[in-house]
């Protein structure tokens, strides 16, 4: 039950963050590059903006971007999977396109695994063993 608590906390901060920021996230608050402490919980950046206020204000944008990216990629994946799954056994152009897309997706999924296996086996290559 407690595993979802951090996610809930992030969403709460994202919702109320812009209203609880101690300083303006877009106006110069102090000297550049101040260390954390005192009025600046996370310090200031190279332009004198309060890093803590900017972090709290940015949570909402981060959550929106993450949610939209997940929704769009899930929708595209479902639609592409339905298109391919329903048309892969057909004859003609539509079936050929579906089979081609399956091969492209197989290649996209396989290439990182192939690179990883080559990287992992490279210390035992013939060039290394012949020394």
pLDDT at 43 over 80: yes
Would you kindly state where each structural domain of the chain is located, as residue ranges?
1-76, 88-131
1 confidence band (pLDDT: 50, 70, 90): low
Question: If DSSP codes are grouped into helix, strand and coil, which group holds residue 71?
Answer: helix
pLDDT at 126 over 70: no
- The reported pLDDT for the residue numbered 108 is 86
- The reported pLDDT for the residue numbered 86 is 94
Mean pLDDT score across all residues of the chain: 88
Beta carbons of 53 and 25 less than 8 angstroms apart? yes
- The reported pLDDT for the residue numbered 124 is 63
pLDDT at 38 over 80: yes
Decide: pTM greater than 0.85: no
Helices (H) and strands (E) in the chain, counts: 4, 0
- The reported pLDDT for the residue numbered 99 is 94
Q: Encode pLDDT of 66-108 as tens digits.
A: 999 999 999 999 999 999 999 989 999 999 999 999 999 998 8
How many degrees, rounded to 5, is the angle at CA 61 between CA 57 and CA 65?
A: 160
What is the percent of the chain with per-residue pLDDT over 90, rounded to a whole number?
55
Q: Quote the longest CA-to-CA distance of the chain.
A: 71
Instruction: Find where tokens 């407690």 sit.
Output: 2
pLDDT at 119 over 80: no
């Amino acid at each position: 039950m407690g595993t979802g608590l951090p996610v809930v906390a992030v969403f709460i901060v994202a919702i109320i963050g812009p209203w609880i920021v101690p300083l303006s996230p877009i106006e110069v608050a102090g000297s550049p590059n101040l260390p954390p402490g005192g009025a600046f919980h996370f310090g200031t950046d190279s332009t004198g903006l309060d890093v803590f206020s900017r972090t709290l204000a940015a949570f909402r944008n981060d959550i929106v971007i993450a949610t939209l990216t997940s929704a769009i990629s899930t929708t595209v994946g479902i639609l592409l999977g339905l298109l391919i799954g329903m048309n892969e056994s057909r004859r003609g152009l539509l079936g050929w396109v579906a089979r081609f897309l399956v091969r492209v997706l197989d290649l996209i999924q396989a290439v990182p695994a192939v690179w990883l296996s080559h990287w992992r086996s490279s210390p035992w290559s013939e060039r290394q063993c012949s020394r």
